[in-house]
Structure 1
């Protein structure tokens, strides 16, 4: 992967993590609403995992250059 793709992955991971966190808070506020049944914890975890992998990849790209 090149640096541009990795930056896009980092941004997408951070956005997914933030949306997952906001969704988790909304689930706590209204536990019987339609959005309470969506997997917000999984989305937040996936976003953090993608952001972490992208950050490590960026570090290796910059170290190699």
Structure 2
């Protein structure tokens, strides 16, 4: 992976993490709505994991450059 694809993964992970967090808040406000059945916690976890992976990879890329 190069720096461009790492940046894309970092941005996508941050967006997914924010969407997952906002979905969790919406689920608590309206527990019987359609969006309460979406696994928001899992989406937030995947977003944070993507951000962590991209941050470590970006650090490695910058350290070797």
TM > 0.5: yes
How far apart are the structure 2 equivalents of 1:18 and 1:24? 10
Are residues 1:40 and 2:44 paired? no
The aligned residue for residue 3 of structure 1 is: 3
Shift of 1:22: 0.1
Could you list the runs of 5+ residues in structure 2 that have no partner in the other structure? none
How far apart are the structure 1 equivalents of 2:6 and 2:39? 25
Deviations 1:8-44 (A, max 9, x none): 0000000000000000000000000000000000000
Q: C-alpha root-mean-square deviation of aligned residues, in Å? A: 0.2
- Number of residue pairs aligned between Structure 1 and Structure 2: 65
Could you list the runs of 5+ residues in structure 1 that have no partner in the other structure? none
How far apart are the structure 2 equivalents of 1:53 and 1:2? 13
Structure 1 stretches of at least 4 aligned residues deviating more than 3 Å after TM superposition: none
Shift of 1:46: 0.2
